[in-house]
Amino acid sequence: MEAKNRIIFHIDVNSAYLSWEAVYRLQHGDTLDLRTIPSVVGGDVTARRGIVLAKSIPTKPYKIKTGESLYSAKLKCPELVVVPPRYHLYMQCSKALISILEEYSPSIQQFSIDEVFLDFTNMEVHWGDFVNAAHKIKERVKKELGFTVNIGISSNKLLAKMASDLQKPDKVHTLFPHEIQDKMWPLPVEELFMVGRSTTFKLHKKGIFTIGDLATTDPNLLMQWFKSHGRLIWEFANGIENSPVRQDFPVKGIGNSSTLPFDIEDRKTGHRALLSLTETVAMRLRNIRKSAGVLSVFIKDRDFESCSHQRKLNVPTHSTNILYRIACQLFDEIWQGHPLRHLGVRASELYSDDFYQLSFFEPDIERQNALDTAVDEIRTQYGWNSIMRSCFLHSGLNPMMGGVIQEEEYPMMSSLL
């Protein structure tokens, strides 16, 4: 179908982590809505994870930014309320959103934990005018789930994503090709998808300050300055993008890492931290019905010196115990005894679980799979910390460390073109 006949929605949760936390607290008796005061979801400063993960709209006057340290944010706004992340909750909220959206189209692509593309092409027969349908979806999410979303509408994914950012929160915006010049070109060039800080600096030096400036620049010049990336951002500035809404796009790898609450100085504690990280990676693999063909371990010491090591597995697996055993072997091979502050585990070369190869060297694999599945079901229903290994009691380590979803699980749009 021609791009001009496509109707694509981009659904974006407003201040996702903070909104989900606020709704959860209100549902459990709190009277204060975190969304109405200067507040952020962030790590624990004392545990060296003091980063702003999400912020409320009232923090805007203080110029608090996602990714900056809590220490810096507190200097800007001394009365800032900081709440810790609750990753299991975010997974539940994301899945609840997907459940609603699946009723409106069979073609849905989750772009991140709080962003979803929906192909509404030919759905008007069932749901009426696309703008009215978007408003119905937005209001239904607010009524049933308690949080708000922005919905951008266009003929391709890029413009739909740009549309959802035009004005927040709780809005529906269109950005079709004939609207680009009025709605998108006046925006600062750094607001264009795929134009990062470094590219922005270089564009400013060339006298390019708005998306319109970029769109009207000779693409051959941009390719001289930025190579293939120059052509890409020129096309995006002109609204050119035609990737499909993919229901099952390839996942290249699943990773998990964490800055530790204390320096690791002995092998036993290092192995325990690896187990915590591997628990999360293995659960995610099982959730998308994939097995890892390669496992990597990454370490960073107190002096910020880093090292990594990987191994190709004889038989792909998603077993927590098997992946943990290999992670420990890799760790032992690269750790030189220096105190560690950061650890990471990554599974790659993923294979579908629909075709599983048994191994003579893992005679209890079916039993392990059954145990892993049972544990996953308990954690999904009652929370990630509802069942844990006894070795984590009084250890000072979270039984399942790391973030909720890593970037490589949701590839950037440029990789989908």
Backbone phi and psi for residue 148, each to the nearest 5 degrees, phi listed first? -105, 155
* Residue carrying the six token digits 């809404």: 245
Helix, strand, or coil (residue 39)? strand
CA proximity to 268, closest of 391, 401, 387, 398 = 391
* CB-based contact 333:308 (threshold 8 Å): no
The helix/strand/coil state of 110 is strand
Query: CA-CA distance, 325 to 332, in Å (whole number)?
Result: 11
State how far the Cα of 138 lies from the Cα of 158, in Å rounded to an integer: 20
CA distances from 208 to 21, 35, 177, 216, 221 (A): 39, 36, 21, 10, 12
* 3-class SS of residue 411: coil
325-333 long-range contacts, CB within 8 A, separation 24+: 326/295, 327/274, 327/277, 327/278, 327/295, 327/297, 328/271, 328/274, 330/295, 330/296, 330/297, 331/267, 331/270, 331/271, 331/274, 331/297, 331/299, 332/267, 333/309
254: three-class secondary structure by DSSP? strand
> Taking Cα atoms as reference points, which of 416, 414, 1, 7 lies closest to residue 175?
7
CA 44/CA 56 separation, integer angstroms: 18
Q: Which residues is 150 bridged to in the sheet? A: 12
Mark whether 115 is an active-site residue.
yes
Q: In 3-state terms, what secondary structure has residue 399?
A: coil
d(CA 159, CA 323): 41
Give me the catalytic one of 21, 115, 235, 241. Answer: 115
> Which sequence positions are flagged as catalytic?
115
